[in-house]
């Protein structure tokens, strides 16, 4: 790593250190108010669990992308206090989606601790004969998180015209992400695999690139007063390759990462049968009996540890891992080129350089 790259990472870390405590403080205060105003103990207990879930260590990348974009594009527009509330709402919406994601994926861990539906089952399973009580409660608690996010948006002291433009992007963000999740579900444990399918790329775009990079940056841009459609297109041209690289990195860590670092098992994507770009590259690279064997094992609803190790080893031996890493580097290079076209101020550009560096790193 060059000194310049390390400097960019340090700038991003300092930016994160400036804003994440403010975001977490708003989340803490919001749920403390909810707990204090609740007149039923079960509501107080559940609010406390939801608060703990939302405040677990995470990158907070989406609200940070919003805030950095706002800072980089604003031209003397007022205080950022209301903007931080809107950024916090974006983080709460991420928690809302994580609850859904864990239920859909049957994932037992989130950020190194029990997923909310597992936690609810542990807390309330003894009171009910319903074997799905944890899932049922967590599904509805996701709606509670959504409600809290809406309250933050309503309370944010931001010009109404700017807030309305923000809400248009906000709404578009979660509808597109929902369609991406549906496509992801349709492509998880599929009945067959088409190596020419565009589904893995569509999922990467809809569920990650626009959700994580493009739309949070556009939210910050419109909140700054920006209305230039060409600049929005430049944000999109930058955010798409960076967001896809973010997803490719996640796919690689989902198979080859260390659980202690990622906070989730490194066999879950394989066991769940997720049709990612990494798996698609493996199927496309293998031929004949090897492709047939790999596909048959990958499509098994229940996979043994031997199946998991076989699939992992064939991803390596087929060259798919190296091909995917190469594609990841190409996407990072494209994002760097497109960054130069954005009309951002210097410090915000440096923060984005740090984001690129963090996405570029694949500890596998």
- Domains of the chain (ranges plus CATH)? 3-360 (1.10.600.10)
Average pLDDT, the chain: 94
Check if the beta carbon of residue 107 is closer than 8 Å to that of residue 61.
no
* Paired residues of 114 in beta bridges: 109
pLDDT per residue over 176-187, tens digit each? Answer: 999 999 999 999
pLDDT of residue 267: 87
CA distance 183 to 220: 28
**Averaged pLDDT for residues 264-287:** 90
CA distance 144 to 96: 8
Place 149 in a pLDDT band, splitting at 50, 70 and 90.
very high
Buried b (16+ CB within 10 A) or exposed e, 252-272: bbbbbbeeeebebebbbbbbb
pLDDT per residue over 229-239, tens digit each? Answer: 999 999 999 99
DSSP symbols for 171-212: HHHHHHHHHHHHHHHHTBS-SS--TT-SHHHHHIIIIIIIII
Q: Which residues contact 112 (CB under 8 A, 6 or more apart)?
A: 56, 57, 260, 263
CA distance 152 to 296: 48
pLDDT of residue 345: 87
pLDDT of residue 1: 53
**Averaged pLDDT for residues 299-319:** 95
Greater confidence (67 vs 192) lies with 67
Q: Is the pLDDT of residue 5 over 80?
A: no
């Amino acid at each position: 790593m060059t000194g310049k790259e390390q400097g960019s990472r340090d700038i991003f870390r300092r930016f994160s250190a400036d804003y994440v405590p403010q975001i977490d403080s708003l989340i803490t205060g919001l749920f403390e108010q909810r707990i204090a105003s609740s007149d039923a103990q079960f509501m107080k207990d559940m609010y406390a669990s939801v608060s703990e879930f939302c405040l677990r260590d995470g990158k907070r990348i989406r609200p940070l992308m919003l805030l950095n974009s706002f800072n980089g594009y604003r031209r003397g527009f007022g205080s950022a206090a209301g903007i931080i509330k809107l950024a916090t709402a974006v983080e709460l919406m991420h928690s809302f989606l994580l609850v859904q994601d864990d239920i859909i994926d049957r994932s037992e861990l989130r950020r190194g601790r029990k997923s909310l539906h597992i936690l609810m089952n542990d807390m309330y399973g003894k009171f009910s004969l319903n074997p799905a009580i944890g899932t049922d409660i967590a599904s509805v608690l996701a709606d509670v998180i959504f409600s809290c996010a809406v309250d933050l948006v309503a309370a944010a002291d931001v010009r109404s015209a700017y807030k309305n433009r923000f809400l248009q992007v906000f709404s578009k963000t979660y509808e597109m992400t929902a369609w991406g999740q549906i496509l992801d579900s349709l492509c998880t444990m599929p009945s067959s695999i088409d190596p020419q399918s565009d589904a893995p790329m569509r999922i990467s775009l809809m569920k990650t690139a626009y959700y994580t990079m493009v739309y949070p940056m556009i939210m910050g841009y419109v909140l700054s007063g920006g209305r230039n459609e060409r600049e929005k297109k430049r944000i999109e041209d930058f955010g798409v390759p960076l967001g896809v690289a973010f997803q490719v990195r996640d796919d690689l860590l989902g198979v080859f990462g260390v659980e202690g670092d990622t906070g989730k098992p490194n066999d879950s994507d394989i066991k769940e049968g997720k049709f990612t770009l990494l798996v698609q590259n493996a199927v496309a690279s293998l031929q004949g009996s090897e492709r047939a064997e790999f596909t048959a094992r990958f499509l098994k609803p229940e996979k043994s540890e031997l199946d998991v190790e076989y699939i992992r080893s064939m991803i390596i031996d087929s060259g798919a891992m190296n091909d995917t890493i190469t594609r990841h580097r190409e996407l990072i290079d494209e994002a760097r080129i497109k960054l130069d076209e954005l009309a951002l101020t210097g410090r915000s550009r440096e923060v984005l350089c740090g984001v690129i560096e963090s996405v570029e790193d694949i500890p596998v």
